[in-house]
Copies of this chain bind each other. A is one copy, B any other.
């Protein structure tokens, strides 16, 4: 997956510039961690510098502003989700198969990019960067809702459900995973994706 590839690449590349031990990716990672802990708005550049053990000017060497850190992190999360819709499995075949692929792959992006997706899901639209991220999220939601509607026409999804509302509920469930999932916890990524698909497609009730 794209995620794995880019992670492996960044781990293999030595720090490009700045203080030893911190490349741009590592600064971003620690910033996102701090934003998730105490909220983006409540985090100052001084807080960030303190967490990193860098001076503010050393930090500005990597990123020109707190907003740039936010923009890059949100782009990572959105790029991961949008990437799911570009995969061949999301573009070819029956709507039923495509929908199942998209739901399972979205769970995988959440798990693989947990910190940046967590940040994305807490964005409330304060400022231009957050507004732009919300607009991209809405577009993603609309593309998935269209897929649900296609699957309804095909007969996989029940006709009595409202496609937009069902999409909100299903992605509400998928997104809620960021609130409790821990990579070192008892549930692995594949089990989670399988269980989400089972609940979403078949529901709790015994058939």
Contacts and interface: CB of A to CB of B under 8 A. Distances in A.
A174 B147 CA distance: 22
Given A41-B39, A42-B39, A180-B168, A155 B199 contact: no
A4 interface: no
Interface in A158-194: 158-162, 165-166, 168-173, 175-177, 179-180, 187, 192
A176 B166 contact: no
A126 B39 CA distance: 11
Interface of A: 37-39, 41-42, 124, 126, 148, 151, 155-162, 165-166, 168-173, 175-177, 179-180, 187, 192, 195-196, 198-207
Given A41-B39, A168-B180, A180-B168, A202 B199 contact: no
Contacts of A161: 195, 198-199, 204
Contact of A158 (B39, B148, B157, B202): B202
A172 B170 contact: no
Nearest to A197: B203
A204 B157 contact: yes
B205 A158 contact: yes
Nearest to A39: B39
Q: How many identical subunits does the complex contain?
A: 2
14 contacts: A39-B39, A148-B204, A156-B205, A158-B202, A168-B176, A168-B180, A170-B199, A172-B172, A173-B173, A199-B200, A199-B203, A200-B204, A201-B203, A207-B207
Nearest to A157: B204
A166 B200 contact: no
Contacts of A187: 165
B177 A172 contact: yes
